[in-house]
């Protein structure tokens, strides 16, 4: 594992660099020139492979509220109703924003504290810890989210939302799992039962227009609430969704801890390495 130097950039982001190359950035505030359709930032982008290829995307033309690697739900019911995802179909988006209140960096570690505010009132407090390292041809980003609320927050059963990795859409891609290439029917955004079954990880193996091969995987953690996966290949989205199996309640005073490992690589799909990283992550 290779350590990195950390730097805080312009007071609006934390960036991990290796030499003169950016490895990953955590965006604390929405950039002034952003095309994002929401006011929330608090997302990871870019995430790069060891050779420097960016695998994530922000504010793509098809879904301008998508923001790299992020955590949010589009329907939350607590002291106020809220959509922090940015879809706007089942709960209000206006005046619902994830606000960073502090951040620090040390070595290859990023820590941030955020508040999920609805009309100025905090529904959820969030702590994010991220550790990024390189393992051969793979970049490994370990994420731990701790969410707390002072009043119950109900997350109704839905097909998608929660933790999401939105990847670049150019080139051609296959969807992969530990069992090989996935050829299941595409999940339907309004039908939770259409989401894909539990796996330790799902990935996209991407051949870019110039012929370069890269990829990205999300590894779940066995201590997370049970998920089904809303992996929409048409938009290169990986989404282990904890509300797909049923309603979920973030109970007052009971922290919810969510852990995910994101892996980006150069070259062919490193299936054995992903299996090993998943096994190590589960321990």
Q: What is the pLDDT of residues 79-105, one digit of tens each?
A: 999 999 999 999 999 999 999 999 988
Number of structural domains found in the chain: 1
Integer Cα distance of 282 and 4 in angstroms: 24
pLDDT band at 20, cuts 50/70/90?
confident
pLDDT surpasses 70 at 8 = no
Query: Which is more confident, 11 or 244?
Result: 244
What's the CATH number where 235 sits? Answer: 2.70.98
Per-residue pLDDT at 156: 98
pLDDT above 90 coverage of the chain, percent: 92
Place of tokens 């199996």: 245
- For residue 45, the enclosing domain spans 5-282
Per-residue pLDDT at 4: 53
- Token couple for 191: 């039908």
pLDDT surpasses 50 at 128 = yes
CB atoms within 10 A of CB 9: 13
pLDDT above 70 coverage of the chain, percent: 96
Integer Cα distance of 77 and 149 in angstroms: 12
The predicted model gives 178-196 an average pLDDT of: 98
Integer Cα distance of 195 and 227 in angstroms: 9
């Amino acid at each position: 594992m290779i350590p990195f130097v950390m730097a805080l950039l312009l007071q609006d982001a934390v960036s991990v660099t290796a030499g003169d190359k950016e490895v990953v950035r955590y965006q604390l505030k929405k950039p002034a020139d952003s095309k994002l359709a929401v006011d929330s930032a608090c997302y990871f982008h870019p995430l790069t492979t060891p050779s420097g290829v960016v695998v994530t995307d922000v504010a793509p033309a098809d879904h301008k509220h998508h923001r790299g690697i992020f955590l949010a739900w589009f329907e939350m019911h607590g002291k106020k109703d809220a959509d922090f995802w940015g879809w706007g179909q089942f709960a209000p988006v206006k005046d619902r924003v994830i606000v960073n209140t502090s951040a620090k960096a040390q070595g290859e570690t990023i820590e941030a504290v955020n508040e999920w505010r609805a009309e100025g009132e905090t529904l959820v407090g969030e702590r994010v810890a991220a550790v990024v390292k390189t393992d051969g041809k793979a970049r490994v980003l370990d994420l731990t989210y701790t969410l707390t609320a002072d009043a119950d927050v109900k997350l109704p059963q839905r097909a998608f939302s929660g933790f999401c990795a939105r990847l670049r859409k150019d080139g051609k891609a296959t969807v992969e799992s530990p069992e090989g290439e996935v050829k299941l029917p595409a999940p339907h955004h309004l039908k939770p039962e259409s989401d894909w079954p539990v796996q330790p990880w799902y990935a996209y193996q991407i051949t870019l227009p110039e012929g370069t091969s890269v990829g990205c995987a999300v590894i779940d953690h066995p201590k997370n609430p049970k998920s089904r996966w809303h992996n929409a290949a048409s938009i290169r989205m990986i989404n282990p969704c904890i509300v797909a199996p049923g309603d979920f309640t973030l109970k007052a005073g009971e922290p919810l801890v969510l852990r995910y490992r994101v892996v980006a690589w150069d070259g062919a799909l490193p299936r054995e390495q992903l299996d090993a990283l998943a096994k190590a992550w589960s321990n």
